[in-house]
Amino acid sequence: MAVRSFIGVVHARQAGYAREAGIVAFSHGREAPVKDLSPGDRVVLYAPREDFDGDPVQAFVAHAVVTGDAPYIREFPMGEGWCRDASYDDVTPAPVRPMLEDLSFVKDPRYWGMAFRRGKFEISEADYRTIATALEVQP
C-alpha cells in the first residue's frame, strides 16, 4: 500500500501532548479519523491556535509517521479518545501564510482558513513536500 500524507488540525498544546505521548488523534478522539490510517502514513499537525481560546499560531507545528497497527482508546488531558501510535520528527514550526499560493488544497488564498475546518484530511505528495520542506523534514 502506498504511503499517504494527511494534515491533522489540533491546537498547539494538543500537538505537544501528542508528540510527548507518541500518538496521533483527531476530531476530539473520534475513532473514524484514526481507523483509516496505516503504518508509514505521514501526518502533519496544523495548529490554528495555542489552545481552544488561545493566541493564534496558524502554523504547521509537528510531523509524525504512523507506527501503530491498530487504533486504541487512551485517556487524554481532555478526556478519553481513539489514537494511533506514531513517531515524531524534530521540526521547525512553519507559518502557513507564506505557503498559501503553493498549496493545492487552498482553493482561494483569501479564504484559506476554510481548508483547515476539517479535523483531518489527505493531501497530495506535492503539498506534503512543500510543507515538509518548510518544517525542515526530509520527505
Q: Which domains does the chain have, with CATH numbers?
A: 5-135 (3.10.590.10)
- Which residue reads 501564510 in cell numbers? 97
Is residue 94's pLDDT more than 90? Answer: yes
pLDDT per position as a tens digit, 57-72: 999 999 999 999 999 9
CA distance 45 to 69: 20
Q: How confident is the model at residue 128 (pLDDT cuts 50, 70, 90)?
A: very high
Q: Is the pLDDT of residue 139 over 70?
A: no
Q: How far apart are CA 118 and CA 9, in angstroms?
A: 7
> Which three three-digit cell numbers place residue 129?
513536500
Tens of pLDDT, residue by residue over 6-60, are 999 999 999 999 999 999 998 888 999 999 999 999 999 999 999 888 899 999 9
- Which triple of cell numbers denotes residue 122? 489527505
Q: Is the pTM of this model over 0.85?
A: yes
